[in-house]
Structure 1
Amino acid sequence: MTDVAPAAVPFDLATLKMHWRRRIEAMRATGVLPLIDVESNLGDDLDIQVFARQMDGEGVALIAFSAVPQGRGWNDAARHAVAADPWRYIPAGNGGLPPDWKRDPVEFARASREHTRSDGYPLMGEYEFRHYPSPDQIQRGHRERDEDLPIDGPAGHELFRFSAESGISFQIHHEIEDQTLAPLEKMLTQYPKAKVIWCHLAQMRYQSRNTVYGPDYVRKLIEAHPNLYFDLFSGPPDHVYPGSGEYAGRYWDRSTGKLKPEWATLIADHPWRFMVALDLNPFIMKAFPRKVAVQRAVLDSLPPSAREIVAYKAAWKLLFNEEI
Structure 2
Amino acid sequence: MAADFSPIPGTARMTDVAKAPVPFDLSTLKQNWRQRILAMRAAGVMPIIDIESNLSENLDVQRFARQMDAEGVALIAFSGIAAGRGWSDAARYAVAADPWRYIPTGDGGLPPDWKNNPMDFARITKERTVSDGYPLMGEYEFRHYPSPDQIQRGNTQRDEDLPIDSPAGHQLFQFSAESGIPFEIHLEIEDQYLAPLEKMLKQYPKAKVIWCHLAQMRYQSRNTVYGPDYVRKLIDQYPNLYFDLFSGPPDHIYPGSGEYPGKYWDRTTGRLLPEWAKLIAEQPWRFMTALDLNPFIMNAFSRKVGMQRAVLASLPEPVREIVAYKAAWKLLFNEDF
Higher mean C-alpha deviation, range 266-275 or range 41-50 = 41-50
Deviations 1:256-276 (A, max 9, x none): 100000000000000000000
| In the alignment, structure 1 residue 20 sits paired with structure 2 residue 47 | no
Give aligned-pair identity as a percent: 79
Letter in 2 for 1:317: K
Secondary structure class of the residue paired with 2:16: coil
Letter in 2 for 1:314: A
The counterpart of 2:146, out of the listed 133, 138, 143, is: 133
Shift, 1:84, TM fit: 0.3
In 2, the alpha carbon distance for the partners of 1:227 and 1:95 equals: 20
Shift, 1:72, TM fit: 1.0
The counterpart of 2:267, out of the listed 235, 249, 254, is: 254
Q: Flag structure 2 segments of 5+ consecutive residues without an equivalent.
A: 1-13
Letter in 2 for 1:99: P
| In the alignment, structure 1 residue 104 sits paired with structure 2 residue 104 | no
Which residue is equivalent to 2:172? 159
Which residue is equivalent to 1:311? 324
Shift, 1:43, TM fit: 1.3
In 1, the alpha carbon distance for the partners of 2:17 and 2:158 equals: 33
TM-score (norm 1): 1.00
* Equivalence map 1:243-282=2 (5 Å): 243-282=256-295
The counterpart of 1:7, out of the listed 17, 20, 26, is: 20
Which residue is equivalent to 1:66? 79
Shift, 1:95, TM fit: 1.2
Q: Flag structure 1 segments of 5+ consecutive residues without an equivalent.
A: none
Which residue is equivalent to 1:240? 253
Letter in 2 for 1:133: P
In 1, the alpha carbon distance for the partners of 2:227 and 2:133 equals: 36
Letter in 2 for 1:237: P
Which residue is equivalent to 1:197? 210
TM-score (norm 2): 0.96
Higher mean C-alpha deviation, range 163-172 or range 42-51 = 42-51
Total equivalences in the alignment: 324
RMSD: 0.4
Letter in 2 for 1:39: E
| In the alignment, structure 1 residue 123 sits paired with structure 2 residue 126 | no
| In the alignment, structure 1 residue 296 sits paired with structure 2 residue 283 | no
Which residue is equivalent to 1:79? 92
Deviations 1:40-84 (A, max 9, x none): 011111111110000000000000000011111111010000000
In 2, the alpha carbon distance for the partners of 1:241 and 1:72 equals: 31
Which residue is equivalent to 2:3? none
Secondary structure class of the residue paired with 1:51: helix
Shift, 1:283, TM fit: 0.2
In 2, the alpha carbon distance for the partners of 1:72 and 1:118 equals: 18
In 2, the alpha carbon distance for the partners of 1:40 and 1:113 equals: 20
Deviations 1:6-30 (A, max 9, x none): 0000000000000000000000000
Which residue is equivalent to 1:223? 236
Shift, 1:323, TM fit: 0.5
In 1, the alpha carbon distance for the partners of 2:326 and 2:287 equals: 10
